[in-house]
Amino acid sequence: MPSPPPELLVSYRPANFQERGLAVPFTAPALAGARVRLGGREAGGFEVILPNPSGSRGVYIMPWAAARDTFRPSVHDHLLATALGAMADFTPASLRRAAHAVAAGGAAGRVARRAAEAAMAAERKHVLQTHFHLLLGLIRATEPPGAHPLPPEREEQAKLERRAGAAVLHLARTLATTTATIAGWIEALATLFAPVGVGPSAQEAFLPRLLAALTRFSKDVEDRGRTGGEAFTPARLLARHAATTATFTRAALAAAAALLADPFALARMWQTDRAAVAAAVVRTDWLLDGWAQVLVLWQNAAGGEQTVLDEILRIVPHLPTDVLGDQTSEDETLPLAPRRKAAAFRPMTCAGGILARNEALRALSLGTLAA
């Protein structure tokens, strides 16, 4: 039975990140800028949140089954939806991994496939680096001062392994658990903290790089707003919104990184309240979720900044009310995208061309992550 037509929810102010949903890189033209969140009547189902295509305020919220019937998803989107249904948790990192895997399977084309493979390789490298630095931190925290002539980061491989083994044993005894459990925790924490970054190359991790790009975007857009004339007036408001998001993110990133300062405290917290550790890390990811698509659009505007600005205003991630607290609602600060008129205009652009553009942007977005 066909799904009923989706209804427009004019006043939409998500209370929290879960309600805002995850930015999902669907490639079908009608699904561009979509978000997904848990919910819907089907078991394990999820809902799709689509910005009002007319550019006016509001969103459409519908179960995936209705979106599938109404908006003709691409093959890539079908496969990604299947992967979303199988995700253990609905977090930006989980969706990123699922989306990488689908793109690496070639569903968004060969260019996106290579970019996804590179992004996955970069992620594996960051997990390994984080794992290594977590061990170094643990060694430093367990060894008494002057116990070894060399600091762990300058130690030769075999000796370092012995020192790491001793540190893991010490932590296991302290927390009354096994070394295998501690090794498992370190592995899990390395995966969790890899996007945050740790050690001397922390700024190369995914979230610090995205935050740096968001900060640059904010400045760039503000400059454009100042010099671009009346047409770029919304740019200044957008720049302010990006700067606000960057400020929240910087604080969240610092809080997540601070957890790594004391490996014993972190391990104790992980032992007793794993969700609290995860929440501290995931908050940064949630804050930046959806900005990668915005940044790629802006970076590839190639002289068409005004058109891209309109596109960005449709998909720009709004901050939930539980983040903004007492600050001014974004409904009052963010401008609307100009409304689109269809009545007098017959589009000549082929849907296949828009799909190809979305796939190219997807590849660029993946390439940015892998860089």
Partner 1 sequence: MSGGVSTIGPAEIKALRRLLVDARADQITRVVAMIDSLPERGEADDLLTPFRARLAEINPPRPLNFPRLLFIPIDPLIVPGPRWRRGTLGVPRTVLTPLARHVGRALAEDATAIEAMIAGRSVADRAVIHAAGAKLWPAAARVLTSASPPPDWQDATGLPVSDHAAIAGAIAVLLAQAVPIQRLVDGLSGGEAPDDAEMALRAILASAAERGSQALAVMIALLMNRLPSFSRLPELAREIAAAQDKDGRMAAERATEHTLESLANSPAIALAANGTGGLVHAAETIAHATTLLTGLAEQSAARPDRQLLIDELRRSIDRACRDSFSLLLERHLLAPLASLATVDDDTITGLEAVARDLRAFEQASRQAGSGELYDRILRDAGKRIAATALPRIDRMRLVEILNNSDTALALLGARPS
CA distances for 100 relative to 73, 184, 227, 357, angstroms: 18, 24, 38, 18
Q: Which residues contact 35 (CB under 8 A, 6 or more apart)?
A: 20, 21, 22, 23, 24, 48, 49, 290
**Site for partner 1, residues 52 to 71, rule: CB under 8 A:** 55
Q: Among 49, 81, 160, 213, which residue sits at the site for partner 1 (rule: CB under 8 A)?
A: 81
Position 339 contacts partner 1 (CB under 8 A): yes
Q: Is-contact 126 154, C-beta < 8 A?
A: no
Give the x/- contact pattern for partner 1 in 298-337, rule: CB under 8 A. Answer: -----xx--x--x---------------------------
Position 109 contacts partner 1 (CB under 8 A): yes
| Tokens coding 318 | 């709004």
Position 145 contacts partner 1 (CB under 8 A): no
Kindly give the pairing relationship between strand 59-63 and strand 8-9: antiparallel
Q: Among 5, 89, 110, 162, which residue sits at the site for partner 1 (rule: CB under 8 A)?
A: 110
Q: Among 114, 148, 216, 240, which residue sits at the site for partner 1 (rule: CB under 8 A)?
A: 114
67's enclosing H/E stretch is helix 64-71
Q: Name the one residue in this structure whose structure tokens are 């969240």.
A: 252
| Tokens coding 21 | 């949903």
59's enclosing H/E stretch is strand 59-63
Position 159 contacts partner 1 (CB under 8 A): no
Position 41 contacts partner 1 (CB under 8 A): no
Length of the chain: 371
Of 42 and 331, nearer to partner 1 (C-beta) is 42
Distance from chain centroid for Cα 359: 18
Q: Is-contact 357 301, C-beta < 8 A?
A: no
Q: Is-contact 50 59, C-beta < 8 A?
A: yes
Specify the stretch interacting with partner 1 by CB under 8 A; choose among 100-108, 137-145, 241-249, 284-292.
100-108
Position 341 contacts partner 1 (CB under 8 A): yes
Specify the stretch interacting with partner 1 by CB under 8 A; choose among 106-114, 122-130, 154-162, 169-177.
106-114
Of 173 and 340, nearer to partner 1 (C-beta) is 340
Task: Report how far residue 103's alpha carbon sits from residue 86's, in angstroms, rounded to the nearest whole number.
Answer: 16
Of 120 and 192, nearer to partner 1 (C-beta) is 120
Q: What is the binding site for partner 1 (CB under 8 A)?
A: 28, 55, 72-75, 77-79, 81-82, 85, 105-107, 109-111, 113-114, 303-304, 307, 310, 338-342, 344-350, 352-354, 356
